Structure 1
Amino acid sequence: MLGFEPPARLGHFVLLQVSGDTTFDFMTVDREIEKQHYAFLVTENEFDEIFARVRERSLEHWADPQHRIPGEINDLDDGRGLYFDDPNGHQLEILTRSYGSGGLTAKHVNPLLLGR
Structure 2
Amino acid sequence: MPATFNHTIIASKDRAESARFYRELLEAAEAPSWGLFTNIALGDGVLLQFAEPPVDIQMQHYAFLVDDELFDRAYARLTDWGVVHWADPQMRRPGEINHEHGGRGVYCKDPAGHAVELLTRPYL
- TM-score, reference length from structure 1: 0.79
Residue-by-residue CA offset, 1:72-106 (whole Å, 9 max, x unaligned): 10000110000011111101000000114xxxxxx
Aligned pairs, how many? 100
Give 2:33's aligned residue. Answer: 9
User: Is 1:70 the equivalent of 2:63?
Assistant: no
Partner residue of 1:86 out of 72, 93, 110: 110
CA displacement at 1:59 relative to structure 2:
1.2
User: Is 1:34 the equivalent of 2:58?
Assistant: yes
The CA RMSD measured in Å over matched residues stands at 1.3
Give 1:106's aligned residue. Answer: none
Residue-by-residue CA offset, 1:16-69 (whole Å, 9 max, x unaligned): 212222111222321112111100000000100100101111211100001001
Give 2:121's aligned residue. Answer: 97
Unaligned 5+ segments in structure 1 are 101-116
Partner residue of 2:73 out of 49, 58, 65: 49
Identity among equivalent positions (%) equals 41
Unaligned 5+ segments in structure 2 are 1-24
